[in-house]
């Protein structure tokens, strides 16, 4: 079994005037992700000027749920009306294959 079989993919559409604030929030969230014991990988992405994403992996469902219940998700949802055009779209996905260095 992989240490990153369970994953989350989030798509975030920032309000145009809040795009730089969203980028700064995501960059600043790295220490919280690093502190999560069962978060195997965590990526914050900028797909275009106002579209952002988060992709993260976990060894099991417990780790994935802990992340969903954690600090980053809580702050994202608390600030959703302020920062985003609509609520973040978060999908639970299954990683079929992965390479880790």
Kindly indicate the confidence band of residue 1, based on its pLDDT and cuts at 50, 70 and 90.
low
Quick check: is 85 in a domain?
yes
Query: How many Å apart are CA 32 and CA 43, to the nearest integer?
Result: 12
Query: If you average pLDDT over residues 7-26, what whole number do you get?
Result: 98
Q: What is the pLDDT of residues 31-83, one digit of tens each?
A: 999 999 999 999 999 999 999 999 999 999 999 999 999 999 999 999 999 99
**pLDDT for the residue numbered 2:** 73
Quick check: is 76 in a domain?
yes
Quick check: is 50 in a domain?
yes
What's the domain range around 64?
Answer: 7-94
Quick check: is 1 in a domain?
no
| Number of folded domains that form the chain | 1
**pLDDT for the residue numbered 81:** 96
Query: How many Å apart are CA 84 and CA 76, to the nearest integer?
Result: 9
pTM confidence score: 0.93
The torsion of the CA quartet 13, 15, 20, 22, rounded to 10 degrees, works out to -50
Quick check: is 15 in a domain?
yes
**pLDDT for the residue numbered 101:** 76
Which CATH number characterizes residue 56's domain?
A: 3.30.70.100
Query: If you average pLDDT over residues 8-16, what whole number do you get?
Result: 97
């Amino acid at each position: 079994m992989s240490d990153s079989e369970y994953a989350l993919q989030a798509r975030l559409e920032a309000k145009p005037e809040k795009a730089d604030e969203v980028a700064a929030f995501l960059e600043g969230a790295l220490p919280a992700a690093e502190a999560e014991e069962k978060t195997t990988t965590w990526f914050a992405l900028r797909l275009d000027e106002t579209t952002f994403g988060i992709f993260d992996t976990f060894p099991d469902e417990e780790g994935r749920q802990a992340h969903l219940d954690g600090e980053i998700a809580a702050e994202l949802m608390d600030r959703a009306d302020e920062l985003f055009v609509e609520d973040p779209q978060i999908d639970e996905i299954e990683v079929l294959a992965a390479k880790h260095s």
